Amino acid sequence: VMRRNPFGMDICCRKGSRSPLQELYNPTQVSLSSTAILHQIRRDQVTDTCRANSVSSRKRRVLTPNDLKHLVVDEDHEMIYCYVPKVACTNWKRVMMVLTGRGKYSDPMEIPANEAHVSSNLKTLNQYSIPEINHRLKNYMKFLFVREPFERLVSAYRNKFTQKYNTSFHKRYGTKIVRRQRKNATQEALRKGDDVKFEEFVAYLIDPHTQREEPFNEHWQTVFSLCHPCHIHYDLIGKYETLEEDSNYILQLAGVGNYLKFPTYAKSTRTTDEMTTEFFQNISSEHQTQLYEVYKLDFLMFNYSVPSYLKLE
């Protein structure tokens, strides 16, 4: 939990001190340099994957403003965070609100979750002019957080399709999935869409019709498509598996590590590897193979091995 910052407004404006980017690539503290090596390895992995799969990344050379709506900008600390839903993005948005709020917020966990997702509370890169965008992409420290792709997918499914309160998702996607994937669906299921099975969700994701119709919802869209790591050079790639260390490292680079810590709390409902294994037991090997193809770049780029429970064809 963040304590009151003793230096009044210092928390916001770091002019005159080293930028996070300088601190990352030329660390002044020994403790920062060992971690820097780990992040260099993660960056190299992304670069190598982009190069090896240049066919898929060459299709779109120029990013549009719409591609940048997930990139949250912190002017005061010269940082850009690309948020990926289901990878601690609520807490990171809360932290960004503390960092950019100029003293308005001091404790991330006092910010209600729904407030963290109000788009006007944070500034995104697509709101700038082209020269301003280019300047920030070049000079600000850019980071994102990733998670094992199928664990993230199961987490999204559990959150959006098994919780009764998510009626907007049931209406928007559930009814469509039931209509398309369920034979002899009842009128009630077609109307409510609130009992989508994981197998139906997977069938919907791998259906070519789905991909032609519209982009995936951000909760199950690939990180590759949300954050464009082959076009935008991310300086830091945090992982859900090492969330606390990676997050606090970023806050240290930003010069706020002494009074702002990343909020941690053990969530008993968290989607785990064992849980993900269970969900995939009823998925045919054909569907598993097709689903792996959809998320393959995320697996390769962020160094996640093929899950042992998969029966790939």
pTM of the model: 0.91
Averaged pLDDT, 109-124: 94
The residues pairing with 145 across neighbouring beta strands, listed in sequence order, are: 238
Tally the residues of the chain: 313
Residues 157-207 have pLDDT tens digits of: 999 999 999 999 999 999 999 999 999 999 999 999 999 999 999 999 999
Domain that holds residue 30: 20-148+220-254
Give domain status of residue 236, yes or no: yes
Give domain status of residue 63, yes or no: yes
Give domain status of residue 224, yes or no: yes
| 184 dihedral zone (left: phi>0; alpha: psi -120 to 50; beta) | left
Tokens of 41: 């390895």
Span between the terminal Cα atoms of the chain, in Å: 48
Give domain status of residue 278, yes or no: no
Write down the pLDDT at residue 56.
53
Looking up tokens 């369920």 gives 182
Give domain status of residue 139, yes or no: yes
C-alpha distances out from residue 180 to 48, 217, 251, 295, Å: 38, 17, 45, 22
Half-sphere exposure in the Cβ direction for 263 (13 Å, CA)? 22
C-alpha span between 252 and 248 (Å, rounded): 6
Write down the pLDDT at residue 70.
97
Tokens of 163: 């919780």
Residue pair 146/87 in contact (Cβ under 8 Å)? The answer is yes
Give domain status of residue 201, yes or no: no
Half-sphere exposure in the Cβ direction for 286 (13 Å, CA)? 2
Residues 196-244 have pLDDT tens digits of: 999 999 999 999 999 899 899 999 999 999 999 999 999 999 999 999 9
Give domain status of residue 5, yes or no: no
The answer to whether the Cα torsion of 109, 112, 116, 117 is positive or negative is positive
Task: Give the number of domains in the chain.
Answer: 1
Give domain status of residue 88, yes or no: yes
